[in-house]
Chains A and B, each alone.
Chain A
Amino acid sequence: MSTLATTHTQTNTGIYHGKLGMWVFLASEIMFFTGFFGAFIVLRNLNIEVFTASAHQLDKVVATINTAVLITSSLTMALSHLALERGNEAKFRLFLTITIICAFGFLGIKTYEYASKFSHDIYPWTNNFFATYFTMTGFHALHVIGGLIPMIWMLGKSMVKGYPQSMHHRVETLGLYWHFVDLVWIFLFPTLYLIF
């Protein structure tokens, strides 16, 4: 049908579509969080006392654990891609499973954190610090969930039908996204928990 089918395997930039598209998407994601960070800075400067007092109510220990969990998941994600690229599907599955467990762990800890806030009658409308806190971490958690879905799908496919080495580009693309989620947390962590 199309005589141009070759252009799919040979792209003008030499970067395959998935990766290029994901980078464009990530550039736009950076700007999405720019809005929140901008708002955070402005509102913090307006209500510095409220922000400092409220930030001290957050649980630094839990957040530090969560940071470690997410960084670990980032490592295993990178390793799982590497394993698939080398054709070692068993290892790919192992590392992907660890990544998924870490992601669920992160969400679980997040849920615990939210629950303990709610139990102390702290809600998004309590004050502007918690409004930004819940919005930013909430959107971050949504991104975690957004990454989990294709991960589980890949793992399932790998277990049922097998996941060929040639698909490693998809894992890399997903990995890019996952590292970005990690990266956002790397900034959220000091901003919300530490600098006050």
Chain B
Amino acid sequence: MEAVLHTEKHEHNEAHGHSESFIRKYIFSTDHKMIAKQFMFTAIIFLFIGGAFALFIRWQLAYPGEPIPVIGQMLPSTWVNDAGAVTAEWYTQLLTMHGSIMIFAVIIPLLVGTFGNFAIPLMIGADDMAFPFLNMVSFWLFPVAGILMMGGFFMEGGMAAAGWTAYPPLSAIASMGQTLWIVALFLIGFSSILGGVNYVTTILNMRAPGMKMFDLPMTVWAVFITAIIITIGTPVLASALAMLFMDNFLHTSFFQPENLIVPTRDMSRTAGGGQPLLWQHLFWFYSHPAVYIMILPGMGVVSDILATFSRKPLYGYKAMVFAIIAIAFLGIVVWGHHMFQSGMNPLLGTTFMVSTMVIAVPSAIKTFNWLGTMWRGQMQFTTPMLNAVAFVSMFVVGGLSGIFMASTPVDVFIHDTYFIVGHIHYVLFGGSLFAVFAGLHYWFPKMTGRMYDERIGKWHFWITFVTFNGTFFPMHILGVGGMMRRIFDPTVYDFLKPFQPMNEFITINAMILGFAQFLLVYNLVYSWFKGRKAKRNPWRANTLEWQAPSPPPHGNFDRALHVYHGPYEYSSPLTVQDYLPQTTSPEEIEEQRRHHEQRLQQKNEQDTHA
């Protein structure tokens, strides 16, 4: 509340951007571009932490009980046994933290935090967010929460170990690490809501003169709809977390029936009468839309990049916008498809199956429109384009494997198997992370004023693309074979033993995939300082951010903007060049053409003279 009041003051102050102290500029900055960079750096650090966790998990699955090479002996004794192999306790913590970190501290901050913050004001021609102070608060809640989440490491019982879904009673009877996890998630939720409020207000209120809603680039549309989902969905998770916190910390029993037999915890105070499924409903009411929070901005970024590098208008712009809106709306009413086998009323199973099947339609529309965008284009395969192209292809796989889950009888078999793990990684890694890579390279010149290294970018892309498929595609097969998710040692089961070579194959790919990400970091860091200087509009793109200097100063634009066109007027027959910035007025177009014709005439005359 107070924050809202403060921010209005800041807006007035910051119009005169005088030199600021180091702390105001780099740490407690209210500049949306700096906040975007802060989100990016923090999230990339978490990306490596979460990725390292994943590699430990993979090692254990491929070589159960064998010591971790090189560093096994160095890890603390609460994590590994004497030989240096992962223990079952640490394994469950690893998988919980891998999921939580990757979702809440990597993908959402990268897509929503970084791209939302960086792109929105620049793409709508505003000088900053509507509430810059709120924006800063929203960022600072995030690293605090991230550290808190991992703070369980210092506690007895270790980090949270109930899976990222934290189903009670398991999470309600767990140790201190779980309590910290709940608090951390609550903070992250609050941070998301503040961000969401800010984005919605900014997009509705601060568009440059002449810019209608249907002149917004897809990135902005996608983040706008995402922000709406965030504001609608996240608070429900927050309330569920509050109740889980009460159960966990104060021994209430929202989610716990009477007389649970738990040797590790004093249950005498817990009255009972709760309903474990209630958590699942509340949780998925947020967390299913959260999947769309994690993919919609990616879709927006990819739409922009595909259009730019195909030099073509985005195919079916309005259909794309309505598809996003449809996904958002339907996304909130399909949460029950995570619960077909949970013991909920089978009638609800039918209801949610139908709504889930319907939600596949807008995703199909988007895919076809992307194809349409490339049709008869003039494609240039730069690093952002390669990543965007990969996004579409991987998203198709993720979408198709989703149909298996929508169908209730099939879902009952593949639920909680590696099929789900494969599916979610095709959507969140193949989808979201490829979109992140695409966006990072695409906006790198604008963000830093320098070009990234195209050669390293392409190497990074190809290695990632190949090993990504090598890692996650076989997981579908494991799932079809029935291998349970979150299992510590698959060799316990006879029917899973034949899959061990496949597990090894996955792990080898995952290792390469993990280490290939250092290429990305190297490219970003090196180019940031040593890269070639970037021009104002290196991609010859239409949207407004390319009208600002690279990098944009505090306050963003150095001239007044007026928007005349939609964002995707590439290769228009009206213009000489193959792009038409949104700010170019009809008079300017006319003048350019006259100029061009004159030049042609002169050239013709010269030719005839010669």
Contact = CB atoms under 8 A, between A and B. Distances in A.
Direct A–B touching, Cβ under 8 Å: yes
Interface of A: 1-5, 7-8, 11-13, 15, 17-18, 20-22, 24-25, 27-36, 38-39, 42-43, 46-47, 50, 124-128, 131-132, 135, 139, 146-147, 149-150, 153, 169-170, 173-174, 177
Given A21-B197, A39-B254, A149-B2, 6 more contacts: A1-B554, A3-B558, A32-B236, A39-B282, A43-B278, A127-B273
A43 B275 contact: yes
B208 A124 contact: no
B265 interface: no
B609 interface: no
B4 A22 contact: yes
Contact of B208 (A7, A24, A35, A139): A7
B234 to A, nearest CB: 7
A29 B273 contact: no
Contacts of A39: 239-240, 243, 254, 278, 282
B4 A21 contact: yes
B207 to A, nearest CB: 5
Contact of B231 (A17, A27, A125, A169): A27
B238 A35 contact: yes
Interface stretch (B94-102, B124-132, B363-371, B592-600): B124-132
Interface residues of B, number: 66
Contact of A35 (B252, B253, B282): B282
15 contacts: A1-B16, A2-B127, A2-B555, A4-B208, A4-B556, A7-B126, A11-B206, A18-B4, A20-B200, A24-B231, A27-B232, A32-B238, A32-B239, A128-B253, A150-B5
Contacts of A173: 4-5
Nearest to B556: A2
Interface of B: 1-2, 4-5, 7-8, 11-12, 15-17, 125-127, 130-131, 134, 193, 196-198, 200-201, 204-209, 231-240, 242-243, 246, 250-254, 269-271, 273-275, 278, 281-282, 285, 553-561
Contacts of A47: 273
Contacts of B273: 43, 46-47, 50, 127-128
Which 8 A/B pairs are nearest by Cβ-Cβ distance?
A: A35-B239, A32-B235, A2-B555, A131-B252, A11-B205, A28-B231, A2-B127, A31-B235
A124 B253 CA distance: 9
B204 A124 contact: no
B32 to A, nearest CB: 13
B231 A131 contact: no
Contacts of B231: 24-25, 27-28, 31
